[in-house]
C-alpha cells in the first residue's frame, strides 16, 4: 500500500510518532511517548519519587508542560528500525541556547515492550553538549541554572523570577551605559510585533535603514528623537532590536523603567 510504504521509508521514528494506541492481541499498548511521560521516576533511578516523569521534569525545570517536547527516535543508533531500539527523548528548552534532554529507551531491539530505562542524559549550552551520567546530575544542573538567574521579568504583564531567563540589554541614547534586565522568551514574544525581525548587533549608534520598532512596527526616526537599541539573549551574537523610547517604556514594568532612568516618562 502506497501510504504505508512511504511511512516505512521515512523511518520508524516518524511512524512511531504518528502511531495511535494500537492493539497487540486484546491489550492496548500505549504509544512510546505516553509510556515515557508516565513512567515513574522511581523506576528510572533509585531514591527518586514515585511520580510520572513528565510531572517531575516540569517541576524540576520550572516550565509549563507544553514547554517540554517529546520525540521518538532510534536512540541515535541508526538502522532501519528493526535493528535499532526505540527511544523517547524529552527536551526542555530553558532559554534559546540552553536545553536539558532526557532520553529513555522504551523498546529494545527484541521488540518486546520493556520497562523504559534511561538511555542518555545531556544538556546543550550554546551549542556545546554536556553529557550527564545520572538523574542527580540533571537535578544539580537544573538547580545551578536556576541560581545563576537573577531579577524579575522586565515586562509589565509578568512578575516572575525566572528560570530560563534571557538577558535583555538596553542601550539608552545618546550615550547611556547599557542596562541589563531580564525577560522570559514568552513575555518578549507576547509583547513584540512578529513582523519585525532582528538584526545582529553592529554599531549601536547606527540604526539600519528600514529598521522598525519591535513593538509598534512603525519606522524609527533616523534623526531627532533617538531610537533605543536592545539586545535579547545570552547567545552570541544576541538579537538586536530597536524601539521608540515610548513603545519600550509602555511594555516595561515600572521598576525596569527606573533602571533605565534617562529613558522613561517618569524621569524628573
Ligand atoms: Zn516574564
Ligand atoms: Zn514604536
Ligand nearest the Cα atom of residue 184 = 1
What separation in Å is there between the alpha carbon of 181 and the centre of ligand 1?
11
Nearby residues for ligand 2 (ion, Cβ within 5 Å): 213, 216, 244, 247
pLDDT at residue 39 is higher than 90: yes
Ligand nearest the Cα atom of residue 228 = 2
Q: Which band of pLDDT confidence, cut at 50, 70 and 90, is reported for residue 97? A: low
Give the pLDDT confidence score for residue 105 in this predicted structure: 92
What separation in Å is there between the alpha carbon of 229 and the centre of ligand 2?
12
What separation in Å is there between the alpha carbon of 249 and the centre of ligand 1?
15
Ligand nearest the Cα atom of residue 191 = 1
What separation in Å is there between the alpha carbon of 167 and the centre of ligand 1?
12
Ligand nearest the Cα atom of residue 168 = 1
Give the pLDDT confidence score for residue 252 in this predicted structure: 92
List of E strands, 65-211: 68-73, 86-95, 98-107, 113-125, 128-132, 166-171, 179-183
CB 192 within 8 A of CB 214: yes
CA distance 98 to 56: 19
Ligand nearest the Cα atom of residue 245 = 2
What separation in Å is there between the alpha carbon of 111 and the centre of ligand 1?
44
Burial class (CB in 10 A: 0-12, 13-18, 19+), 177: exposed
Ligand nearest the Cα atom of residue 153 = 1
What separation in Å is there between the alpha carbon of 34 and the centre of ligand 1?
30
Q: Which band of pLDDT confidence, cut at 50, 70 and 90, is reported for residue 112? A: low
Q: Which band of pLDDT confidence, cut at 50, 70 and 90, is reported for residue 5? A: very low
CA distance 170 to 138: 33
- Percent of all residues in the chain with a pLDDT value above 90, rounded to a whole number: 29
Mean pLDDT of 44-60: 91
CB 215 within 8 A of CB 192: yes
What separation in Å is there between the alpha carbon of 156 and the centre of ligand 1?
8
What separation in Å is there between the alpha carbon of 184 and the centre of ligand 2?
20
Give residue 50's Cα distance to chain centre. 26
* pTM score of the predicted model: 0.48
User: Alpha helix (H) ranges present in 86-238?
Assistant: 135-147, 185-191
More confident residue, 100 or 61: 100
What is the average pLDDT value for the chain, to the nearest integer? 77
The domain locations on the chain are 2-147, 166-259
More confident residue, 117 or 20: 117
What separation in Å is there between the alpha carbon of 217 and the centre of ligand 1?
21
What separation in Å is there between the alpha carbon of 249 and the centre of ligand 2?
10
pLDDT at residue 17 is higher than 50: no
Per-residue pLDDT tens digits for 144-163: 765 555 567 889 888 666 56
Q: Which band of pLDDT confidence, cut at 50, 70 and 90, is reported for residue 119? A: very high
CB 183 within 8 A of CB 155: yes
Give the pLDDT confidence score for residue 35 in this predicted structure: 92
Give the pLDDT confidence score for residue 193 in this predicted structure: 95
Ligand nearest the Cα atom of residue 164 = 1
Amino acid at each position: 500500500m502506497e501510504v504505508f510504504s512511504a511511512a516505512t521509508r521515512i523511518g520508524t521514528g516518524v511512524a512511531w510518532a504518528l502511531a495511535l494506541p494500537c492493539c497487540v492481541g486484546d491489550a492496548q499498548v500505549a504509544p512510546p511517548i505516553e509510556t515515557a511521560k508516565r513512567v515513574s521516576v522511581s523506576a528510572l533511578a533509585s531514591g527518586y519519587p514515585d511520580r510520572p516523569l513528565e510531572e517531575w521534569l516540569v517541576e524540576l525545570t520550572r516550565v509549563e508542560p507544553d514547554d517540554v517536547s517529546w520525540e521518538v527516535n532510534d536512540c541515535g543508533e541508526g538502522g532501519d528500525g528493526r535493528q535499532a531500539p526505540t527511544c523517547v527523548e524529552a527536551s526542555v528548552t530553558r532559554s534559546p541556547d540552553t536545553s536539558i534532554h532526557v532520553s529513555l529507551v522504551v523498546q529494545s531491539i527484541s521488540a518486546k515492550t520493556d520497562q523504559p530505562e534511561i538511555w542518555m542524559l545531556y544538556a546543550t549550552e550554546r551549542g556545546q553538549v554536556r553529557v550527564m551520567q545520572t538523574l542527580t546530575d540533571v537535578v544539580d544542573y537544573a538547580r545551578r541554572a536556576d541560581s545563576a538567574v537573577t531579577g524579575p521579568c522586565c515586562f509589565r504583564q509578568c512578575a516572575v523570577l525566572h528560570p530560563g531567563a534571557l538577558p535583555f540589554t538596553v542601550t539608552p541614547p545618546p550615550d547611556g551605559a547599557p542596562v541589563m534586565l531580564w525577560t522570559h522568551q514568552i513575555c518578549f514574544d507576547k509583547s513584540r510585533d512578529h513582523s519585525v525581525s532582528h538584526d545582529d548587533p553592529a554599531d549601536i549608534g547606527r540604526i539600519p535603514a528600514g529598521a522598525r520598532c519591535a513593538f509598534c512596527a512603525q519606522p524609527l526616526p533616523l534623526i531627532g528623537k533617538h531610537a533605543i537599541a536592545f539586545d535579547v539573549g545570552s547567545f552570541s551574537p544576541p538579537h538586536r532590536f530597536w524601539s521608540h523610547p515610548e513603545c519600550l517604556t509602555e511594555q516595561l514594568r515600572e521598576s525596569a523603567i527606573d533602571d533605565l532612568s534617562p529613558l522613561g516618562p517618569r524621569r524628573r
